[in-house]
Amino acid sequence: MSTDQNQRRPEARKPRGFPDRTAAIIATERRLVDSISAVYARWGFEALDTGPFEYVDVLGKFLPDTDRPNAGVFALQDDDEQWIALRYDHTAPLARYVAENWERIPKPFRRYSAGPVWRNEKPGPFRYREFIQCDADSVGVAGPGADAEMIAIAAEAMEAAGAAKGEYVIRVNSRQLLDGIMETAGVTDPAQRGTVLRALDKFDKFGVEGVKLLLGAGRKDDSGDFTKGAGLVANQTDTLLEFTTAGSVTRAETLRKLANSVGMTASGMQGVRDLSEIDSILNALGIGEESVSFDPQIVRGLEYYTGPVFEAEFLREFRDTDGNPMRFGSVGGGGRYDGLVARFRGEPAPATGFSVGVSRLAAAMAVSEGAQVDGPVLVLVLDKDKVGDYFAMANDLRRAGIRAEAYLGAAGMKAQMKYADRRGSPAVVIVGGNEREKGVVTIKDLNAGAAAAKGMTDNEAWRSGRPGQFECPRAEMVERIRAIVGQK
RNA sequence: GCCGGCUUAGCUCAGUUGGUUAGAGCGCUAGAUUGUGGAUCUAGAGGUCCCCGGUUCGAGCCCGGGAGCUGGUACCA
């Protein structure tokens, strides 16, 4: 039975797309969830958590491929053999909740939700299989007023998250506008419409020329693989491109161009009217062009959006490990989905919502800000028979609200200093025989010490100079430490 | 899913035409320094050369298959 082979050690490894999250990223995620949730709550939304699992048929209609319950979602069979799946967003569970509790809840129903969602697909940079979304929705309101509100909230949420004005933009479009222009261009086949929308979604990736190829015969990617296009003829492509490149610096100007766009259809006109009303509400709220723009190139997913759609982009640039400038792209999105709740019920239940991809945004912020977490103040343990004293000192610091710990273990002073350094401790408390005799403690400000040591090449000077270090009476320890910790 | 690239120490990588004991830098541990994180010097630990099979007297290197990672693309609710 237990041969050498069986006793081979397991490889320490983990599935991709589920990254380990360390202190800095956890702190950033919590800050984002708290600040974005606070925005939602302030606008009148109520917290609701629906839990991670739903029946697949509740999510089902909008799965990428309903024949394969495992495609796109993480699904498993419950003990009653019914298929359940981890939620892939907060919107589908909300639709279920609203339909299930229709008679009990106030309409319009406004709730927000923050928590992990799971997608069973190929992960990539800043793209995970588990990530946190912070989501707000209004159910039971038709008309662009609710959409305008969501867009305003999106802008406010981005700023609450720490994106300054100009570091983010909410781009807004309308599905009906896209429908209208496709009609004008004579694209009527539903499958072809899908291909066209997907092509129009790729201006940011491939530029106008790339989109042109995808609208026509097709495009070859960098690896040499070929993507089949929508197969449109030249004048159809021209019509679509004329419309989708009508975006302008101001919302009013974009609206003017769109309204004048060739042979606008009924649904196209409706889209323009919606955007126009959204514009006037945004203006009344004082939300300017740098925060929210109208962009005919925004498409979003194809399955359930029915009206205005919008996307939040984090514009701050950062450099990757090779020093190349990079962009994070979309960190949130939303729109009107009038059919999602209605599919559980006979009567219509219009709805609109917005969701921030907190994990990606947190990763973006952590990378661009070089986030790191301060360690605890470390009380060095030098005399093993006085461990109680050291614990008491650390406790005094903790009672004052300062992160602190007494060193655990048998290592010598040098190793303890090294430990403090690696933990990112702001300071250490040193009490040995000398201090105890004099009734004082020695405090070393590690950041000040590091700064003073910069450029010091002589070890003798480094060791005897004891940069950043001072003695003080035991009774003043907490206040002196507080001053060091507080100055960051 | 489709197309490409890659896989040698914890990390970044070198390794000649197939040849004996597979290397470097960084990092890690320790000492120089009874009680001081940096720097310097010294020493040490650390390897399934991704896996399986084949060719060969001999494979990190050649051939076949597989896995993983990574980039592009598809999809992205």
Mean pLDDT, to the nearest integer, of A212-240?
A: 91
Q: Provide the CA A384 to C1' B45 distance, Å, integer.
A: 29
Identify the pLDDT of residue A130.
92
Q: Confirm if A375 and A420 have CB atoms less than 8 A apart.
A: yes
Binning pLDDT at 50, 70 and 90, where does residue A304 land?
confident
A237 belongs to a structural domain: yes
- Going by pLDDT thresholds of 50, 70 and 90, the confidence category of residue A147 is very high
**pLDDT category of residue A451 using cuts at 50, 70 and 90:** confident
The answer to the question of residue A11 being in a domain is no
Whether residues A399 and A449 share a domain: the answer is: yes
Residue A131 lies in a domain: yes
pLDDT tens track for A351-372: 999 999 999 999 888 877 776 7
- Tens digit of pLDDT for each residue in A362-412? 988 887 777 678 899 999 999 888 899 999 999 999 999 999 999 988 788
Q: Residue A338 corresponds to which tokens in the numbers above?
A: 């009038």
pLDDT band at residue A3 using 50, 70 and 90 as cut-offs: very low
pLDDT tens-digit series, residues A155-208: 999 999 999 999 999 999 999 999 999 999 999 998 999 999 999 999 989 999
Could you tell me the residue range of the domain that residue A448 belongs to?
Answer: 377-485
The two beta strands, A440-445 and A469-473, are antiparallel
Which bases of chain B come closer than 7 Å to a protein CB?
Answer: 1-4, 29-40, 48, 68-77
- Long-range contacts of the stretch A368-371 (C-beta < 8 A, 24+): A368/A316, A368/A317, A368/A318, A371/A24, A371/A25, A371/A27, A371/A28
**A2: in domain:** no
State whether A130 and A231 are in the same domain.
yes
CATH label of the domain that carries residue A123: 3.30.930.10
The Cα–Cα gap between A481 and A220 comes to 62
Is the model more confident about A298 or about A1? Answer: A298
Beta bridge partners of A220: A226
> Do A158 and A52 have their domain in common?
yes
Q: Is residue A9 part of a domain?
A: no
What CATH code is carried by the domain that includes residue A426?
3.40.50.800
> Do A142 and A248 lie in a common domain?
yes
Pair A155, A295 in one domain: yes
If asked whether residues A331 and A362 sit together in one domain, one would say: yes
Are the CB atoms for A302 and A193 separated by under 8 Å? no
- Quick one: A360 and A383 in the same domain? no
Q: Is the CB of A467 under 7 A from strand B?
A: yes
- In window 79-118 of A, residues with CB < 7 A from nucleic chain B are 88-89, 91-92
Nucleic strand B near CB of residue A409 (< 7 Å): no
In this structure, the answer to whether residues A360 and A397 fall within a common structural domain is no
Instruction: Give the strand pairing for A46-47 and A109-118.
Output: parallel
Q: What is the reported pLDDT for A5?
A: 35
Please indicate whether residue A194 or residue A64 has the higher confidence score (pLDDT): A194
Whether A203 and A296 map to the same domain: the answer is: yes
Give the ipTM.
0.82
Report which of A142, A136, A138 is spatially closest to residue A156, judged by C-alpha positions.
A136
Report if CB A59 to strand B is under 7 Å.
yes
Task: Specify whether A389 is located in the same domain as A347.
Answer: no
> Is A7 within a domain?
no
Q: Which of A327, A343, A369 is the last residue before a domain boundary?
A: A369
Burial (CB count <10 Å: 0-12, 13-18, 19+), residue A417: buried
Q: How many domains does chain A have?
A: 2
Segments in A263-348 forming alpha helices (H):
266-284
Q: How far is CA A417 from the centre of its chain?
A: 37
**Nearest nucleotide (CA of A417 to C1'):** B37
> Would you say residue A454 lies in a domain?
yes
Instruction: Judge if A252 and A268 occupy the same domain.
Output: yes
Please indicate, yes or no, whether residues A394 and A349 belong to a single structural domain of this protein: no
Mean pLDDT of chain A: 88
CA distance A315 to A368: 11
